[in-house]
């Protein structure tokens, strides 16, 4: 056995230097990377550690050891030796998410200043090992899925020097679980995908006109009634749209489900941001509690059709409806420990407020008190400042708990929005449409912006990814501007903003956003999201000047092995031949 191993090592030593630089498959591309010659063969028994490690760092090392143990023939253990095979060094000079990684033929050393940094270093090591390691499968399991897949008992790691840290500290993915419901396991599968590509915020869109998915103990009808649609337009990748023909639901997440997901995400260094969309996109709540609508006597139902914007919105002129919104957010904040709460604020028509006596009176009183802008009797956006005021009320409730609020860009771009009020909230603006304009307005107000482009070069990765024949139905056209190269080429921070640090400092990150109007299962979600999610992840992490589509294409083509092993569907349109 030893002889065979020595011969393999000899062959590697002779052949590798003769070839071009070896392929080191890391997405997102690190900030600095020098590919060396040769490889490190992980010993059958190996050690990971350092002389003194905080418990939180030991946790990261132990997780790595566990995965290697489950997926390869190598058994690791934590060590206090300065001579550990994988040596961990705490380097306080490195940024919170940064790490350094050095792989030589003799061993591996990593340094970071935090558990997060070590986590990313271990993710990188797993990523450049054979794909079954990241897939968390052993040889037998991997070969059952891909019979051609060869697994060495001892994984090899290419020699490389990496000095890495992200471009943006916000690197997000949003999943709409309102229009269609995704199970706890589906969400874990998404979180796994995010973590491979070093994304760190999961924006969980929990409520929609089509379904209320968050259990609120104070208002049980929200899930008894609001999480059930009388029918539902489903989408099948082969058959296209069809009607379910029976009730869809009850589908919702209990507090325990949420906590399970939060904990799972936490282990992957992902923060979960709950979104409760208000005061629009809230018909599922009004179906349960019509008294909080502008027309309690009228018909209110959970929508069955998956698209659209409806005028049935929360009665922001009714103090009881406003208190209802606060109460919901209280439970959200009780369950979600993260620093952010997203309250939507998108696509909210004002027509119901215009007809409602309470809202009319509320508007007049606020104008009289000088609390909102008076746009004038003839202005068709006259009622919009009511939304700005409502947002301020929610922000006061959120910041009283020491948390921060997030809004969609309509809060600053809808005609008539009271920008002074929104500025005073200190909210982070998720800008989608018009994306760059929204971010520009936010930055001018001194508010942080996250770029999630809806238009060309789109980060709305639920849109059709190609316009070729046989492509399953989805939002958008699938023409060039929705396709992978356009997503990859999109510059989240335009050059002219980049040149002005006073502006660019407000561009805190990017997000891939996934709506589920036309997607009702996780397989189809994977198919549309992959590989465009990787393009957004690279925009989030890698320096702009490092981006190179052909290089990216080679890397994601290699990653299709990982996708296949983990049962992910993906678009094959741009795979390297």
Contact set with ligand ACM (CB under 6 A): 346-347, 408, 432
Distance (Å, rounded) from C-alpha 332 to C-alpha 207? 12
Q: Which is nearer to ligand ACM, 155 or 280 (CB)?
A: 280
Q: How far is the CB of 430 from ligand ACM (least distance, A)?
A: 7
| Cβ proximity to ligand ACM, 205 vs 233, nearer residue | 205
Q: How far is the CB of 249 from ligand ACM (least distance, A)?
A: 22
Q: Report CA torsion sign: 314, 317, 319, 323.
A: positive
- Quote helix, strand, coil % in the chain, to nearest 5: 40, 20, 40
Tell me the residue nearest to ligand ACM as measured from the CB. 346
11 burial (CB, 10 Å; 0-12 / 13-18 / 19+) is: exposed
CB of 306 to ligand ACM, least distance (A): 13
Q: Is residue 105 within 8 Å of residue 39, measured between CB atoms?
A: yes
Nearer to ligand ACM, 47 or 350 (CB): 350
Which tokens go with 223? 């899930």
* 7: CB partners within 8 A, 6+ apart: none
- Distance of closest approach, residue 242 Cβ to ligand ACM, in angstroms: 25
Alpha carbon distance, N-terminus to C-terminus of the chain? 37
Name residue, tokens 């903003």.
Answer: 497
Closer of 351 and 551 to ligand ACM (Cβ): 351
CB of 286 to ligand ACM, least distance (A): 18
The total number of residues shown for the chain amounts to 577
Q: How far is the CB of 450 from ligand ACM (least distance, A)?
A: 12
Report the SS3 class of residue 415. coil
Instruction: Find the shortest distance in angstroms from Cβ 499 to ligand ACM.
Output: 29
Q: Are the beta carbons of 426 and 404 closer than 8 angstroms?
A: yes
**Kind and range of the H or E element at 551?**
helix 549-565
> 120 or 408, CB closer to ligand ACM?
408
Q: Choose between 179 and 568: whose C-beta lies nearer to ligand ACM.
A: 179
Cβ 347 to ligand ACM shortest distance, Å: 5
Helices (H), 289-341: 319-335
Helix axes 532-541, 184-196, angle to 10 degrees: 50
Dist. CA 252–CA 255, nearest whole Å: 10
User: Residue 347 or residue 548: which is nearer to ligand ACM going by CB?
Assistant: 347
Nearer to ligand ACM, 198 or 532 (CB): 532
Closer CB to ligand ACM, 127 or 205, in the complex? 205
Q: Which residues contact 119 (CB under 8 A, 6 or more apart)?
A: 60, 268, 269
Q: Give 131 or 273: the residue with its C-beta nearer to ligand ACM.
A: 273
Which phi and psi angles does 309 have, rounded to 5°?
-125, 130
The single residue listed with the structure tokens 């019509």 is 290
- What CA–CA distances, in Å, run from 511 to 120, 321, 346, 535? 19, 31, 16, 11
Quote the least distance from Cβ 205 to ligand ACM, whole Å. Answer: 9
Note whether 48 and 61 are within 8 A (CB): yes
Q: How far is the CB of 455 from ligand ACM (least distance, A)?
A: 11
- Please identify, using beta-carbon distances, which residue of 268 and 273 lies nearer to ligand ACM: 273
Supply the DSSP symbol for 226. T
Pairing of strands 340-344, 404-408: parallel
> In terms of CB distance, is 262 or 435 closer to ligand ACM?
435
Least Å distance, CB 248 to ligand ACM, is 21
Structure tokens at 72: 């390869």
Q: Using CA atoms, how far apart are residues 561 and 137, in angstroms rounded to an integer?
A: 12
Q: Give me the least distance between CB of 125 and ligand ACM, in Å please.
A: 37
Query: Are the C-beta atoms of residues 449 and 506 closer than 8 Å to each other?
Result: yes
For ligand ACM, the closer of residues 389 and 432 by Cβ is 432
> Where are any strands of DSSP class E within 441-487?
449-451
Closest CB to ligand ACM among residues 111, 428? 428
Q: Smallest gap, in angstroms, from Cβ of residue 409 to ligand ACM?
A: 8
Distance of closest approach, residue 277 Cβ to ligand ACM, in angstroms: 8
Spell out where 91-214 has E strands. 99-103, 108-112, 156-164, 170-176, 201-205, 207-208, 211-212
Q: Which two tokens stand for residue 496?
A: 């002219």
Query: How far is residue 166 from each of residues 56, 173, 558, measured CA to CA in Å?
Result: 21, 16, 22
């Amino acid at each position: 056995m030893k002889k065979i191993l020595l011969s393999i090592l000899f062959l590697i030593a002779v052949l590798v230097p003769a070839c071009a630089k070896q392929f080191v498959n890391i997405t997102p591309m690190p900030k600095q990377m020098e590919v060396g010659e040769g490889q490190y063969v992980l010993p059958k028994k190996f050690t990971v550690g350092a002389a003194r490690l905080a418990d939180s760092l030991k946790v990261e090392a132990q997780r790595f050891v566990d995965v290697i143990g489950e997926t390869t023939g190598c058994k690791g253990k934590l060590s206090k030796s300065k001579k550990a095979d994988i040596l961990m060094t705490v380097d306080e000079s490195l940024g919170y998410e940064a790490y350094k990684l050095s792989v030589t033929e003799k061993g591996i050393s990593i340094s970071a200043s935090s558990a997060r940094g070590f986590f990313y270093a271990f993710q990188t090591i797993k990523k450049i090992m054979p794909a079954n390691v990241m897939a968390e499968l052993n040889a037998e399991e991997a070969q059952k899925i891909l019979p051609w897949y060869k697994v060495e008992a001892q994984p090899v790691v290419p020699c490389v020097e990496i000095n890495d840290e992200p471009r943006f500290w916000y690197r997000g993915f949003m999943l709409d679980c309102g229009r269609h419901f995704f199970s706890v396991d589906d969400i874990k599968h998404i979180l796994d995908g995010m973590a491979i590509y070093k994304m760190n915020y999961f924006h969980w869109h929990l409520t929609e006109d089509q379904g209320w998915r968050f259990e609120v103990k104070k208002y049980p009808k929200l899930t008894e009634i609001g999480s059930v649609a009388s029918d539902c337009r489903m989408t099948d990748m082969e058959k296209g749209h069809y009607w379910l023909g029976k009730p869809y639901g009850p589908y919702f997440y209990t507090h325990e489900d949420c906590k399970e997901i939060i904990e799972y995400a936490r282990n992957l260094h992902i923060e979960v941001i709950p979104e409760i969309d208000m005061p629009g996109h809230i018909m599922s709540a009004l179906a349960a509690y019509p008294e909080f609508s502008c027309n309690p006597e009228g018909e209110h139902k959970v929508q069955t059709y998956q698209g659209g914007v409806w005028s049935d919105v929360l009665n922001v002129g009714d103090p009881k409806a406003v208190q209802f919104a606060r109460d919901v957010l209280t439970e959200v904040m009780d369950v979600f420990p993260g620093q952010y709460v997203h309250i939507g604020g998108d696509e909210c028509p004002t027509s119901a407020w215009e007809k409602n006596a309470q809202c009319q009176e509320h508007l007049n009183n606020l104008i009289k008190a000088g609390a909102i802008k008076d746009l004038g009797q003839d202005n068709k956006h006259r009622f919009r400042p009511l939304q700005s005021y409502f947002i301020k009320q929610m922000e006061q409730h959120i910041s009283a708990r020491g948390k921060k609020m997030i809004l969609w860009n309509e809060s600053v771009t809808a005609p008539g929005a009271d920008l002074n009020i929104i500025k005073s909230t200190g909210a982070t603006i998720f800008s989608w449409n018009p994306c760059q304009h929204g971010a520009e307005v936010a930055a001018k107000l001194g508010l942080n912006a996250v770029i999630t482009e809806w238009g060309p070069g789109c980060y709305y990765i639920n849109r059709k990814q190609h316009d070729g024949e046989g492509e399953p139905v989805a939002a958008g056209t699938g023409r060039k501007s929705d396709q992978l190269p356009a997503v990859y080429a999109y510059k989240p921070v335009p050059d002219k903003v980049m040149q002005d640090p006073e502006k660019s400092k407000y561009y805190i990150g990017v997000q891939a956003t996934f709506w589920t109007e036309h997607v009702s299962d996780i397989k189809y979600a994977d198919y549309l999201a992959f590989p465009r999610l990787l393009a957004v992840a690279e925009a989030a992490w890698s320096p702009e000047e490092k981006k190179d589509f052909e290089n990216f294409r080679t890397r994601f083509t290699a990653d299709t092995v990982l996708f296949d092993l983990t049962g992910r569907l993906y678009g094959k349109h741009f795979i390297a031949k």
